[in-house]
Amino acid sequence: MALLIDTDVHEPLRTVRDLLPYLDPHWQVHVTEERGDNVLSKIQLPYSPPGSGERREWRATDDDREKDLERLRSNLLEGEGVTAAILNGFFHVSALPVDYEFATALAAAYNDWQIHVWLEREPRLRGSVHVIAHNPEVAAREIDRVAEHPQIVQVFLPLVNDRQYGDPHYHPIFEAAVRNDLVVTFHHGSHTRTVLGYPRHFIEWHTVAAPQAAQNQLLSLICNGVFDRYPDLKVVFLETGVAWVPWFMWRLDQQYREMRREVPWVSRLPSEIMRDSVRVATQPMGDVKPQHFEKLVEMTDTERVYVFATDYPHYDADTSGAGPLVSLAEQLSQRIRYQNAVESFPRLRDLSE
Amino acid sequence: MKHELFPIRELAPGGMRSVDVDGVAIVVIRTLDDTLHALRDACSHQGARLSRGRLKPVVVGPDVGRYRLLKNKLVLCCPWHEFEFELETGRCVADPKHHRVRAYQVEVEDDTVVLYR
C-alpha cells in the first residue's frame, strides 16, 4: 500500500469532563465543582464557520464517543487511504491568558487521554505533546514525560499573537523537543487574531489569521536564532496554505542582506534555514493549479518543504483523491505524500515504502 | 596586467578612492592599519557606487542578543541597501553564494598604488 502521512488530524474531545480520570483530585474538584469544565469557552471562536466547522459526511451522528475512533478509521484511514495520521487535537489550553496551573494540569491530562483513548488503540496514529508554553521549564518536563510513548512524534504549540516563540524564554521547549527526537508543530486556533484582531466576518479571519500568525512566529524563530542554536530542530506549520512561502522567503532574504548586522547570530540566509528546518503542510491547497504549484516549488527550491495534511475532519479538509495534489509530477507527489515527513520527523523514520 | 593608479600620499588611512581602470570603476580602500584593498566599484545588487558607501567594522553575534564588533575586520557597506562586502574577498557577508564584487590585487610600489587585473 502506498504511504500517505497526514500531518494534521484533529481528534475530538467532547467535554473537559472526559479528562477527569487523568486529573489529580484537586483539579477534578475544580472541573466538577468550580465550573472548570467551561475552560474552553474562554478561548472560543467568535464566528460561525460553514457546517459548524466539520465536513458533513464526517460528522458524528450520535453521542457515542466510543465511535469517534471507529469513525476516524473509516473516514480517514480507510476512506482517504491515510497510512499514518498525526493528531493535533482542538485543545489549545496553551492559549489561555490566565490560570496557568490549571492549564498545565489539563494539558497533561489531555496528553494521557490522547495516548489512552487514541494512540494505544490504533497503531496508525501518532500524537502530540500539548504544553503550556507560558512556563517553558514545566513544559520541558512534560515533553520529557510524554515523549516516552513511542507514538508521540511532536510538540504542539498554538499560533498565538501575544508571545514571540523566538524569545530565548522559550528555549527549554525547543531543547526538550530536540533531545526527545520530536518536531515542534504550530497550528492556529480560535484564539488566533489577525493584525486587525477579530475581523468583522469569518471569511476575513479564515483567509489570513493562520498564515499571518505563522509568518510572525516563523520570523521570530529565525531572527532570534532558534535554528542557529538548535540546528537539529524541525518545525512544522499547519493549515497555513502554501502560497505565502515564496514571498516570505524572498522578502526575508532581502531584508537579511540589508540588515544582517541587526541579527548577527543568524548565520545564513533565512531561505536556506527554511529549506533545512521548516516544513509547511499543504492544506489548504485551495484552487492553485498543479502546474502553478510545481512552478512555485521550482522557483523557491522547496521540494523538501511541503508535507501532506487533510485537516480532518474540518469542512475545508483536503481530500487525498481530489484537488491539485492528485495531478502533481510523481517525484514531487511522493515527497509531499510521505518522503518529506519521514525525513523530517525523527520518529517517523521507521515508515518507508 | 599592471596599472599604476596614483601616489599613495593622495589616499589617507581610513579613506577610499574610486578610479577608472580601462573603463572599469574600482574602489581602492586604505584602512587605518595601512592595508590596501581594491573592489569593483559597483554593488552586485543594483550597481550602486560602493565608493559612496561607508566602511564599518564587522558585527558578529555569538548568541542571540549579544553583539560584538570586530574592529580590525572592516566591511564596505553599499550606500543604497547596506549590503556588506568583505574587503579581502568582495563577498557579501549575508549572502556570499549569490552576491560578491570582484576583488583585485593592489600594492604600493615606489610610493605608487598599483593594481593588477
The predicted complex's ipTM stands at: 0.95
pTM of the model: 0.96
Are the Cβ atoms of A257 and B99 closer than 8 angstroms?
yes
Query: Which pLDDT tens digit goes with each residue over A244-259?
Result: 999 999 999 999 999 9
Are the Cβ atoms of B94 and A260 closer than 8 angstroms?
yes
Are the Cβ atoms of A264 and B64 closer than 8 angstroms?
no
Among the listed residues A289, A284, A257, the one whose alpha carbon sits nearest the alpha carbon of residue A270: A257
Q: Is the pLDDT of residue A346 over 80?
A: yes
**Per-residue cell: A266:** 543568524
**Phi, psi (deg, nearest 5) at residue A114:** -60, -45
Q: Which residues pair with B86 in a beta bridge?
A: B75
The minimal CB distance from A256 to the residues B62, B94, B97 is found for B94
Are the Cβ atoms of B67 and A264 closer than 8 angstroms?
yes
Query: Which pLDDT tens digit goes with each residue over A168-213?
Result: 999 999 999 999 999 999 999 999 999 999 999 999 999 999 999 9
| Chain A interface includes B45 (CB < 8 A) | yes
Instruction: Considering only the C-alpha atoms of chain B, give the largest distance between any 2 of them, rounded to a whole number of Å.
Output: 48
**Phi, psi (deg, nearest 5) at residue A279:** -120, 145
| Chain A interface includes B69 (CB < 8 A) | no
Classify burial at A231, counting beta carbons within 10 Å of its beta carbon; exposed 0-12, middle 13-18, buried 19 or more: exposed
Question: Which of B54, B60, B64, B75 to mutate to probe the A interface, most A CBs <10 Å?
Answer: B64
The minimal CB distance from A257 to the residues B63, B65, B92 is found for B92
Q: Measuring CA to CA, how many Å separate A112 from each of A116, B8, B112?
A: 6, 76, 78
CB B85 within 8 A of CB B42: no
Beta-carbon contacts of residue A33 (< 8 Å; ≥ 6 apart): none
Beta-carbon contacts of residue A25 (< 8 Å; ≥ 6 apart): none
Query: Which pLDDT tens digit goes with each residue over A105-131?
Result: 999 999 999 999 999 999 999 999 999
Q: Which helix (H) or strand (E) segment is B75 a member of?
A: strand B66-77
Contacts of A260 in chain B (CB under 8 A): 84, 93-94
Are the Cβ atoms of A260 and B93 closer than 8 angstroms?
yes
What percent of chain A lies above the pLDDT cut of 90?
84
Q: Is the pLDDT of residue A324 over 90?
A: no
The minimal CB distance from B63 to the residues A258, A260, A265 is found for A265
The minimal CB distance from B61 to the residues A257, A258, A264 is found for A264
Query: Which pLDDT tens digit goes with each residue over B70-100?
Result: 988 999 999 999 999 999 999 999 999 999 9
B92: closest chain A residue by CA: A257
Q: Measuring CA to CA, how many Å separate A71 from each of A53, A283, A292, A333, B40?
A: 17, 21, 35, 27, 67
| Beta-sheet strands, E only, within chain A | 5-9, 84-87, 125-130, 152-158, 183-187, 235-237, 278-281, 306-307
B68: closest chain A residue by CA: A264
Pick the residue with more confidence: A225 or A35? A225
How much is the pLDDT for A6?
A: 98
| DSSP string over A66-84 | THHHHHHIIIIIITS--SE
What one-letter code names the amino acid at B59? V
Query: Which pLDDT tens digit goes with each residue over A218-271?
Result: 999 999 999 999 999 999 999 999 999 999 999 999 999 999 999 999 999 999
Are the Cβ atoms of B83 and A257 closer than 8 angstroms?
yes
**Per-residue cell: A208:** 489570513
Query: Which pLDDT tens digit goes with each residue over B15-44?
Result: 999 999 999 999 999 999 999 999 999 999
Closest-CA distance of chain A to residue B93, Å: 8
- Average model confidence (pLDDT) across chain A: 94
